[in-house]
């Protein structure tokens, strides 16, 4: 295939993915908007008033970046894992496998589709947060870089999950039992300074801590961890996950007999 044909194929997958999650917006875009609004009202407003300051900001301001990041992570992952597994389940993956499109185009198309949903939800949640607090970006490019790389990383995670999944249970295990606890314990709702030394050390093993803090640095200008090390680590994970996904796709793992 020529470069132009590959571009057309890539664009086709991305459009198909965006069309899918916008067609089923009550399942994809509406729930995070409602959930996050509830977080803003209950944790940020009602409970937050009693908590007072966190990291030098009022509690609402402090948790907004974390909640935006949580939305991006969950939706990027959720889009690719459900979309790619559905194509496997309905065998419509065969439409792509019989075509001359290279595997990296398939992978990149799904990942960009996942990023689109993650960032669309992130944008919706950001707009909703403006009803509850003021947000001003302290470091624009860091904010954008973190969102782009994090959504890419969790889209790749969703892709890997879907590749190995054999049934619908397999695509809910990791989001429910791994992703959600890591996100809640990833410094979304509290500063790591509140933790005793031991638990702080344990928390630093959680990769989501670095993403949440790097994003918070972009928005508020404060972070519990080194921001540039965080960006480097996220990028390294993206490269490793992409290479692993492509290798598995080329082998036909989970998709070819």
Residues of this chain that interact with other proteins (CB under 8 A) are 1-2, 4-6, 8-9, 11-13, 15-16, 19, 23, 86-87, 90-92, 94-102, 252, 256-257
The SS3 assignment for 53 reads strand
CB 151 to other proteins: min, Å? 23
CB 87 to other proteins: min, Å? 7
The Cα 211–Cα 152 span in angstroms is 12
Q: Which is nearer to other proteins, 112 or 142 (CB)?
A: 112
CB 257 to other proteins: min, Å? 4
Q: Which is nearer to other proteins, 12 or 45 (CB)?
A: 12
CA distances from 217 to 27, 34, 143, 146 (A): 31, 26, 8, 10
Q: Which is nearer to other proteins, 49 or 251 (CB)?
A: 251
The Cα 111–Cα 246 span in angstroms is 12
Residues 6+ apart with CB under 8 A from 139: 217, 218, 221
CB 62 to other proteins: min, Å? 41
Q: Which is nearer to other proteins, 103 or 133 (CB)?
A: 103
Instruction: Work out whether strand 53-54 and strand 57-58 pair parallel, antiparallel, or are unpaired.
Output: antiparallel
Within 13 A of 49's CA, how many CA atoms are on the CB side? 5
Strand partners, 58: 53
CB 249 to other proteins: min, Å? 13
State phi, psi for 80 to the nearest 5 degrees. Answer: -75, -40
Q: Which is nearer to other proteins, 30 or 42 (CB)?
A: 30
């Amino acid at each position: 295939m020529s470069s132009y044909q590959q571009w057309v194929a890539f664009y086709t997958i991305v459009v198909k993915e965006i069309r899918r999650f916008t067609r089923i917006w009550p399942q994809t875009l509406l729930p995070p908007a409602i959930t996050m609004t509830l977080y803003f009202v209950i944790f940020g407003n009602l409970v937050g008033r009693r908590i007072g300051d966190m990291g030098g900001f009022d509690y609402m301001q402090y948790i907004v970046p974390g909640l935006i990041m949580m939305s991006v992570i969950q939706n990027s992952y959720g889009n690719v894992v459900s979309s790619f597994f559905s194509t496997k389940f309905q065998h419509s993956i065969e439409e792509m496998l019989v075509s001359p499109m290279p595997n990296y185009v398939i992978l990149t198309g799904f990942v960009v589709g996942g990023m689109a949903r993650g960032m669309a939800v992130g944008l919706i949640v950001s707009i909703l947060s403006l009803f509850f607090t003021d947000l001003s970006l302290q470091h624009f490019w860091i904010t954008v870089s973190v969102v782009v790389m994090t959504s890419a990383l969790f889209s790749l995670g969703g892709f890997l999950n879907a590749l190995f999944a054999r049934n619908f249970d397999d695509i809910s295990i990791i989001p429910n039992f791994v992703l959600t606890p890591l996100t809640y314990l990833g410094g979304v709702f509290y500063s790591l300074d509140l933790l005793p030394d031991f638990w702080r050390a344990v928390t630093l093993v959680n990769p989501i801590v670095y993403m949440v803090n790097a994003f918070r640095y972009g928005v508020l200008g404060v972070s519990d961890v080194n921001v540039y090390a965080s960006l480097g680590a996220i990028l390294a994970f993206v490269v490793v996950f992409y290479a692993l996904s492509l290798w598995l796709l080329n082998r036909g793992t989970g998709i070819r007999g």
